[in-house]
Amino acid sequence: MQRILIADDEPHIIRIMKLSLERAGFQVDSRGNGEEALTKIREDQPDILITDIEMPRMDGEELCKRVRNEFPQHIKIFVLTSRTEMEHREWARSLPNLSFLEKPVSIRKLLKMIETNSGNGD
């Protein structure tokens, strides 16, 4: 079973994603900021990280950079954000094994992206 960590400071987004992803068969955990997410990643090394860009204590961009430095290819990253400026798209393309999705994103689309980009996890 693939393990997913959601990093987002909006509890309602976490609740919706967590419930949907668990129903789809994933083991899901969550953290409310990038700093706590990085600590959890270091402890458990999930298969997938789903993160927002704008979060307190450490933003998603810094979180992704640190994850890539410590775990170069192991963790697939999905960045969900309402910020769609070109600089964010360029940044997202600069890191390997990272997918950039604009909010609002449907759970169906997210599940399809996970399936397409991360294998079956078995």
Q: What pLDDT, on the 0 to 100 scale, is given for residue 80?
A: 83
Q: What are phi and psi of 101, to 5 degrees?
A: -125, 135
Note the pTM of the prediction, 2 decimals: 0.87
10-residue mean pLDDT series, the chain (122 residues): 95 94 97 97 95 91 92 84 65 71 84 75 38
Q: What is the CATH number of domain 3-116?
A: 3.40.50.2300
